[in-house]
Amino acid sequence: MKKFNVVGKPVTRQDAYEKATGTALYADDYTFPGMLYGVMVRVPASHAIIDRIDYSAVAGNPAVTAIVDHNDIPAQKKVGPIKQDQPIFSWEKIVTPGDVVAMLVGQNETELLQLRDKVSVEFTALPVLTDPLKSMDPDAPRIHPQYENNAIVHYPLRKGDPEKGFAESDYIIEQTYTTQFIEHGYIEPEAVIAIPLGKAKGVKILGSIQNPHTTRKVVALVLGLPLTKVRVVQAEMGGSFGGKDDQMNILSARAAVAAVKTNRPVKIRFNREESILESYKRHPYHMHYKVGFTNEGKLKSMRIHITADGGAYASMSPFVTWRTVVQATGPYEVENVFTDVHAVYTNNPYTGAMRGFGSPQPIFAQEQIMDEIALKLGMSPLQIREINGFKTGSVTASGQKLDNHEVNLSTVINKAVEETNFVEKWQKNQKDNADVAKQLNFANDSEANQFILTKDQLIAPDKTWRKGIGLAASYRGCSLGAEGIDVTSAYLSVQLDGSAYLLCGLAENGQGLRTTFCIVAAEILGLTVDKIFYLEQDTAIAPDSGPTVASRSTLMGGGAVRNAAETIRERMVRSVADEWKVSADSITFANNTVSSSENNKSVTFADACGITYKHKENLATIGFYQAPEVSWEEETGQGSAYFTYVYGCQIAEITVNIATGQVYVEKVTAVHDPGTVLNLQGALGQVYGGVTQGVGYGIWEEISVHNGKIREMNLDQYLLPTSKEIDDITAIFIEGKDEHGAWGAKSLGEPTLELGAAAVANAIQNATGTRFYHNPINLEEILLNRKLYPEDLKRGSL
């Protein structure tokens, strides 16, 4: 392998100084002279026809500079990435409690917040649809009357002959799994400011925005302006995880409409309650798996039915669920597969992109099934995965042959297993904990809410804490795959003093992409990272590179930055070789100098830039990277879904208190093959953060809805993992070879998140002898085998 100077070494983040000193500016840290605030007016309903909105109680109030609603929208009133079903301001119907009918705009936000309840909205309530499984019933309430039914999308995948496969199986397991709504939980709530620039220039948007180019498109559509007249600048992002996409487009559009109407800057900032109320969530899935396998442990057939709750708007559901249909069978060879994935409308909060993007849910199901199969056959979880796991040359459920990259599934699994002494511990726990199932089962036998134990259900104090270890593995398609157009560009401009500007169209969301891209450019130009200055994200400068999603930025953006840097390097080589009359091959770039081995000359990088300039070569360029071809047959779900894949395995070691149901996570060992690691410290941070989110998904986090309304409205009820929840996390990288991107650096952000819940679920089975099918596996789930929800929306202490 090539020896690197900068790649793979610990490098300090580009933005760390500002963030460590409190001087980094996030959207809400900006104020502008004459700035107004926008405050949302909502309707206390989940599904209703809007009959009349009466502003008379607030219209003349001096605190209200303007009232903005759908009548103020000059062009398109509804938007959406795939289906244009989401109004900027609702006027016909309310389809979920987050919907906004109007915005009060004025200088004093506090006064506006008190006034907004005075707006009177007359509405006719409609039946509320909350169960996605009922959404396709003939008499189900129709959420969007313009569509024939409540279907958002349906993806079939058909391979082989599943019935024949079941006939050839010795065993069949059938099971239903469910997962919950999840809040992104970025610590910075949404904030955006729209600044009117006058007729000739349009409007500038500054905000906590994940995909500035998408926001620009939406705002331009809503205002009826050309793209060039909407300039979107990204403020420092206080986390996103997929969550500051659609929601920020809508908020930016509202602010922009108000800014144009009042001709003043308008800021919208959400408090935590509004953020949870209106922003989209991770999809809850209802998953039915039927799996046939032989005595030898070979998978023969899978039949999978998945329904995803899309909530009130389509948002990214069609993309999210497409990843699900591709990956639903896991990293295993299965000859015969029948998969149906549906996403449907309900009146629940809408769901969209969140880190993981349609993979954490099927992994929760399918990785538990693999363990079930192992238990049934008396094998270990390792054995069953060895028998069925992908190897180089394996064929996926969509018929894609994995032969263009190193398939490192067994490598990552074996590494994790060795590291933790998995098999031995798993077998010992399985034996030690054989008695627990009986004790936990009392809730099933007894009446609901009747918690009196019989004698044999009493737990001796020294037997309360039970150890468990669980494993989960996955493969993941990199970047967008056949979901979308997959290209990126990067702008690189080298200055005569040897420093350089760099900017890629992908966005920094806190994950550290600026640093990673600087590393790539520095490596190629032989510079130290501090010579490269990463510009702030601005749609007026950066070329549109598609969305910063799908863990594609290192792979795709890295490819574009590499291309730009190589172009500049070639020009410099040409000029310097010509100047010195040496061969181009003899020229090397390292440590901010350019040298030739032929004449043993060397000059500073800055001087080499001077030489290049003298030779009339352009020191600025736009690099481009295009993903290789992918393909997809809609009717059969067959094709090369993604151009390359990554592999990961996580093992969770836990203790369960079987008297209280509490799960304590002692250690998570995460082994990932992200291809080449460009930015070691950043990569470690991705693993630690992803594992923590994954474990949170498995044990504590849940948004529950009551008639479409969310119960957990702030972080007192929505439980994000704290510093005390996980004792330790170990990260190990296996760097598999791949020809794509920058030196084969692929994806890491999402693979780290998708495995935690499944690994914990398997560990809980190992500790309790009981399998739990409904995420999150919290105290109630373990003790009572069901969730306990309040019967209304009252907060605990209120």
Name the residues that contact another protein, by CB under 8 A.
10, 12-13, 15-26, 28-29, 184-189, 236-241, 271-272, 509-512, 681-682, 684-685, 687-693, 714-716, 720-724, 726, 728-729
CB closer to ligand FES out of 13 and 231: 13
| 16 contact choice in another protein, ligand FES, none (CB below 5 to 8 Å, kind-dependent) | another protein
- Residue 516 Cβ vs ligand FES, minimum distance, rounded to whole Å: 16
- Residue 99 Cβ vs ligand FES, minimum distance, rounded to whole Å: 26
CB closer to ligand FES out of 240 and 644: 240
If one asks whether residue 510 binds ligand FES (CB under 6 A), the answer comes out as yes
Angle formed by the axes of helices 381-388 and 422-432, nearest 10°: 130
* 313: nearest Cα among 95, 132, 135, 73: 95
Helix (H) or strand (E) holding 195: strand 191-196
| 716 contact choice in ligand FES, another protein, none (CB below 5 to 8 Å, kind-dependent) | another protein
CB closer to ligand FES out of 179 and 509: 509
- Report the C-alpha gap between 650 and 771 in whole angstroms: 19
- Residue 185 Cβ vs another protein, minimum distance, rounded to whole Å: 5
| 639 contact choice in ligand FES, another protein, none (CB below 5 to 8 Å, kind-dependent) | none
| 728 contact choice in ligand FES, another protein, none (CB below 5 to 8 Å, kind-dependent) | another protein
| 788 contact choice in another protein, ligand FES, none (CB below 5 to 8 Å, kind-dependent) | none
- Residue 553 Cβ vs ligand FES, minimum distance, rounded to whole Å: 17
- Report the C-alpha gap between 349 and 352 in whole angstroms: 10
| 189 contact choice in ligand FES, another protein, none (CB below 5 to 8 Å, kind-dependent) | another protein
φ and ψ of 274, to 5 deg: -65, -35
If one asks whether residue 239 binds ligand FES (CB under 6 A), the answer comes out as yes
CB closer to ligand FES out of 187 and 540: 187
Residue 40: strand pairing partners = 103
| 17 contact choice in another protein, ligand FES, none (CB below 5 to 8 Å, kind-dependent) | another protein
Residue 500: strand pairing partners = 494, 532
CB closer to another protein out of 211 and 509: 509
- Give percent helix, percent strand, percent coil of the chain, each to the nearest 5: 30, 25, 40
- Residue 728 Cβ vs another protein, minimum distance, rounded to whole Å: 8
- Residue 32 Cβ vs another protein, minimum distance, rounded to whole Å: 13
- The single residue among 187, 197, 458, 540 that binds ligand FES, judged by CB under 6 A, is 187
Alpha helix ranges (H) inside 230-359: 246-262, 272-278, 317-327
The Cα-based distances of 526 to 519, 521, 605, 678 in angstroms read 10, 8, 8, 15
Which tokens belong to 452?
């009196």
Chain residues 483-502 in contact with ligand FES, contact rule CB under 6 A: none
The residue with tokens 């109030």 is 61
Burial class (CB in 10 A: 0-12, 13-18, 19+), 484: middle
- Report the C-alpha gap between 343 and 397 in whole angstroms: 20
- Residue 514 Cβ vs ligand FES, minimum distance, rounded to whole Å: 15
Angle formed by the axes of helices 409-420 and 381-388, nearest 10°: 170
- Residue 750 Cβ vs another protein, minimum distance, rounded to whole Å: 14
CB closer to ligand FES out of 510 and 751: 510
| 15 contact choice in ligand FES, another protein, none (CB below 5 to 8 Å, kind-dependent) | another protein
- Residue 557 Cβ vs ligand FES, minimum distance, rounded to whole Å: 20
Q: In the bound complex, which residue of the shown chain has the CB atom lying closest to ligand FES? A: 187
- Report the C-alpha gap between 325 and 328 in whole angstroms: 5
- Report the C-alpha gap between 486 and 279 in whole angstroms: 26
Contacting residues for 518 by C-beta, under 8 A, at least 6 apart: 11, 14, 502, 529, 532, 534
| 509 contact choice in ligand FES, another protein, none (CB below 5 to 8 Å, kind-dependent) | another protein
CB closer to ligand FES out of 360 and 512: 512
Which tokens belong to 547?
């969305």
Side chain identity at 162, as an amino acid letter? Answer: P
Give the interface size with ligand FES as a residue count (CB under 6 A): 3
CB closer to another protein out of 182 and 291: 182
**CB of 230 within 8 A of CB of 223?**
yes
CB closer to ligand FES out of 510 and 546: 510
The Cα-based distances of 49 to 69, 121, 764 in angstroms read 16, 10, 46
- Residue 729 Cβ vs ligand FES, minimum distance, rounded to whole Å: 15
Q: Give the CA angle between residues 727, 733, 734 to the nearest 5°.
A: 145
| 682 contact choice in ligand FES, another protein, none (CB below 5 to 8 Å, kind-dependent) | another protein
- Residue 690 Cβ vs ligand FES, minimum distance, rounded to whole Å: 13
CB closer to another protein out of 182 and 525: 182
If one asks whether residue 681 binds ligand FES (CB under 6 A), the answer comes out as no
- Residue 18 Cβ vs ligand FES, minimum distance, rounded to whole Å: 13
- Residue 134 Cβ vs another protein, minimum distance, rounded to whole Å: 34
| 476 contact choice in ligand FES, another protein, none (CB below 5 to 8 Å, kind-dependent) | none
- Report the C-alpha gap between 242 and 547 in whole angstroms: 10
Contacting residues for 470 by C-beta, under 8 A, at least 6 apart: 371, 381, 651, 652, 654, 758, 759, 760, 761, 762, 763, 764, 765, 766
- Residue 547 Cβ vs ligand FES, minimum distance, rounded to whole Å: 20
CB closer to ligand FES out of 167 and 187: 187
**CB of 763 within 8 A of CB of 654?**
yes
CB closer to another protein out of 180 and 595: 180
The 645-657 sheet, strands edge to edge: 465-477, 645-657, 662-673, 726-733
Residue 340: strand pairing partners = 156, 305
Preceding amide of 776 cis, omega within 30? yes
CB closer to ligand FES out of 321 and 511: 511
CB closer to another protein out of 79 and 753: 753
Binding site for ligand FES (CB under 6 A): 187, 239, 510
